[in-house]
Amino acid sequence: METSTLFVFLSLSLFFSDCNFPFHVHASQSNHGTAKFKLIHRHSPELGNFHGTTLGPPSNSRERLRQLMRSDNARLNTITRRLFPRRKNVHVDIPANPNLVELPIRSAADIGTGQYFVSFRVGSPPRKFIMIIDTGSSLTWMKCKYKCKSCFKDRASQHERILNAKTSRTFRPIPCSSNICKQDLARSFSLQHCPRPSAPCSYDYRYSDGTTVLGLFGNETAIVRLTDGRKFKMPEVMIGCSETIMGEFHDIDGVMGLGFEWHSFALKAAKKFGYKFSYCLVDHLSPSNLVNFLVFGEINDPTMPKMQYTELILGVVNPYYAVNVSGISIDGKMLDIPSHVWDIRSGGGVIVDSGCSLTQLVNPAFNRVAAAFEAPLSKFKKLSTSSEGAEPEICFDDAGYKESMMPKLAIHFADGAKLMPPVKSYVLDAADGEKCLGFTSTPWPGSTVIGNILQQNHLWEFDLLNSRLGFAPSSCTFE
Ligand SMILES: *[C@@H]1O[C@H](CO)[C@@H](O)[C@H](O)[C@H]1NC(C)=O
Ligand SMILES: *[C@@H]1O[C@H](CO)[C@@H](O)[C@H](O)[C@H]1NC(C)=O
């Protein structure tokens, strides 16, 4: 049986220096344990029953990779758009009052590109929703009815995965006259329209693929499952009650925004569970029965390998998580890549993004890596690749291939940590008889993005309180 390989779509929003996040405050350790979400990959048969055209198992492995590449392309465009405006400020410290022109930034959700899903319960009585996890936006919303009489009269409503906010005992609309609506939620597209002070704060949320959702903000109770199996109620989670959805979104119930803003689900959950979350990615190109989780809180597993840590650079390339890389080595030998490629302050830098499948290297880095693979790949017949955007560029006929023929690649971080992915995370099965290097090139200046395939077979811990990223090889079978 083929599986739901997993995971997440992470790259939380970073905080701005003027935000009133409680991170400077001493965080009290919570003893709520840990909360976990099962992560379902978009190619999982579990999602195959949707009406959507792109969910569930693809028809073949080539189509599988293609779908992921298309997603990468859309996502990369978003990343580029987002990073560049910020870069204009490179020589200045992060402004005390961030330039509002670049905000509200568009969400990176790129509906079509969501790759990982979770199920999520909200409301009283609770309803279950299948949500895309998005790292680049902070609003968690679902199909919902509050004011509208005739919304969702189409076949989607037959699923009943619609929140009835009007009858939910725990739903509290945010008033449009509140500062929360007028200021804090401005980045989440709140509207100024306020017919009466107590009228709900409404939004017009646009994703970069053109999908638009209209609705109103409210506090609602969410129910998460703890690792010990108990359910835990989280009151006053900010959600969006979406009454109108325009675009290709009819088959999904909503989005879980993991963006790092005070009202985001990620921050609320992180706060409750020790300011930490982790995910572990297994090989999603090969069939497996492993189920993966996104976990908020400390994972206490004695079998867990010791983690290496590197600094998480927060607040520089909002909303993404950046890391300080010092180089790439092949078989222990550092490649001669110019150091500005890794420097976030001079147009380069490296982002860890589980929303991207392949690893995107800026040209100067890509060329050195490609050159280092020339000799080992010379024994194989090169296959032509399409020049369409984010497709892998170096592919070959794998007759006679053995992993041991490939060099060992490592990513070195400035503080000494070293990521050594298994060969199958950078020499990918693209189709029957065909393998490709899991790297694509992007123009310089630009960001290098460590994609989710390179992150596979590792546990990743985002420690927000200590601004550090931990990682360790893992079979992802911990509880
Ligand atoms: C929503 O929840 C926030 C955070 O707990 C709280 O500060 C706010 O007053 C709540 N608003 C309403 C309308 O319940
Ligand atoms: C990255 O590491 C180098 C070397 O330790 C250091 O000089 C530089 O300031 C770091 N960059 C960032 C953005 O932290």
What is the pLDDT at residue 417? Answer: 98
Percent of the chain with pLDDT over 70: 66
Superfamily of domain 299-473: Acid Proteases (2.40.70.10)
Encode pLDDT of 89-113 as tens digits: 222 222 222 222 122 222 333 333 4
Active-site positions? Answer: 134, 353
Residue bearing the bigger pLDDT, 259 or 167: 167
Q: What's the confidence (pLDDT) of residue 99?
A: 23
Ligand 2 proximity of 308 Cβ (cutoff 6 Å): no
- pLDDT mean over 390-396: 79
* pLDDT recorded at residue 113: 40
SS3 45: helix
The domain locations on the chain are 22-295, 299-473
Report the residue among 86, 94, 324 best suited for mutation to probe ligand 2: largest number of ligand atoms under 8 A from its CB.
324
Place of tokens 């319960």: 121
AA identity, residue 126:
P
Residue 355 scores a pLDDT above 80: no
Residue 295, pLDDT above cutoff 90:
no
- In this predicted structure, what is the pLDDT of residue 120? 82
**Banded model confidence at residue 249, pLDDT cuts 50, 70, 90:** low
CA distance 100 to 85: 11
The distance from CA 107 to its chain's CA centroid, rounded to whole angstroms, is 12
Residue 200 DSSP code = B
Radius of gyration in angstroms for the set of CA atoms belonging to the chain, rounded to a whole number? 22
Residue 238's Cβ-side half-sphere holds a number of Cα atoms within 13 Å equal to 26
Ligand 2 pocket, 94 CB below 6 A? no
Predicted pLDDT of residue 87: 28
Higher pLDDT, 467 or 79: 467
Which-ligand-closest: CA of 346?
2
CA distances from 56 to 15, 91, 126 (A): 35, 46, 26
Q: Taking the model in full, what pTM does it have?
A: 0.73
Q: Supply 293's token pair.
A: 């989780």
Domains 22-295 and 299-473 share a fold: yes
Question: Ligand 1: residues within 6 Å at CB?
Answer: 172, 174, 219, 236
- Quick one: average pLDDT of 275-297? 69
Q: Whose CA is nearest to atom 6 of ligand 2?
A: 414
192 has pLDDT over 60 = yes
Write down the pLDDT at residue 49. 53
Cα(12) to centroid(ligand 1), Å: 22
pLDDT of 38 reads 72
∠ CA(345), CA(350), CA(354), 5° rounding?
145
- Distance between CA atoms of 129 and 38, rounded to whole angstroms? 13
High-pLDDT (> 90) share of the chain, %? 31
Of 320 and 397, the one with more pLDDT:
397
Number of the ligand 1 atom closest to the C-alpha atom of 175: 13
Query: Which ligand is the nearest neighbour of the Cα of 345?
Result: 2
pLDDT, tens digit, for every residue of 413-450?
999 999 999 999 999 887 788 899 999 888 888 889 89
**Does position 207 have pLDDT exceeding 80, yes or no?**
no
Domain 22-295 has what CATH class? Answer: mainly beta
In our burial notation (b when 16+ CB lie closer than 10 A, e otherwise), range 152-186 reads beeebeeeebbbebeebebbebbbbebebbeebbe
The Cα 321–Cα 89 span in angstroms is: 18
pLDDT in tens, 23-78: 322 333 444 577 777 777 666 666 655 444 455 666 666 565 555 555 555 554 44
Q: Which is the closest atom of ligand 2 to the Cα of 311?
A: 14
User: Ligand 1 centroid vs 454 CA: distance in angstroms?
Assistant: 40
Give the mean model confidence (pLDDT) for residues 126-130: 87
When mean pLDDT is compared across 172-181, 296-305, 413-422, the lowest value belongs to 296-305
What pLDDT does 318 receive? Answer: 60
Least confident of 174-183, 219-228, 321-330: 219-228
Residue 431 has a pLDDT of: 78
Residue 19: band (very low, low, confident or very high) from pLDDT cuts 50, 70, 90: very low
Please report the pLDDT score of residue 472 as a whole number: 93
pLDDT tens digit sequence for 320-345 = 778 999 999 999 999 999 999 999 88
